[in-house]
Amino acid sequence: MSKKILVVLLALMMVVGVFACKPAATTEAAAPAEEGAKTYKAAFITQALSNESQAYSWKQLQQYAPEYGFTVDVFEGQNDVQNEAKAVSTCIAQGYDAIFINPSDINAIVPSLMEAKEAGVIVGMFSSDLPAESQQYRDFFCGVDDTMAGETAGKAFVDHFPDGAFIVEIGGQAGHDAQIKRADGFRKAIEGSKINLADSQNCSGWVTADAMAIMEDFIVKYGDQIQGVFCHWDNGATGIIEALKNANMNDVYLIGVDGCRAGYDQVKAGTQAVTIGQSFTNMAIKSLECAKAMLEGKPFEAVNFIPLDVVTKDNIDTFPYPEW
- For residues 43 and 75, the answer to whether their CB atoms sit within 8 Å is yes
Instruction: Report residues of the chain scoring pLDDT below 70.
Output: 1-36
Please count the CA atoms within 13 angstroms of the CA of 90 that sit on its side-chain side.
Answer: 16
d(CA 272, CA 313): 9
Kindly report, as residue ranges, where domains of CATH 3.40.50.2300 are found in the chain.
41-143+280-306, 146-277
Fold entry, domain 146-277: Rossmann fold (3.40.50)
Write down the pLDDT at residue 36: 62
pTM (2 decimals)?
Answer: 0.81
Write down the pLDDT at residue 15: 36
Region of 110 please: left (phi>0), alpha (psi -120 to 50) or beta.
alpha
Max CA pair span of the chain: 100
Closest Cα to residue 237, out of 263, 198, 200, 203? 263
Please count the CA atoms within 13 angstroms of the CA of 271 that sit on its side-chain side.
Answer: 20
Write down the pLDDT at residue 37: 76
Closest Cα to residue 205, out of 169, 173, 240? 173
The class level of CATH for 41-143+280-306 reads alpha beta
| 140 beta partners | 124
Write down the pLDDT at residue 239: 99
For the stretch 12-24, what's the b/e string if a residue is b when 16 or more beta carbons lie within 10 angstroms of its beta carbon? Answer: eeeeeeeeeeeee
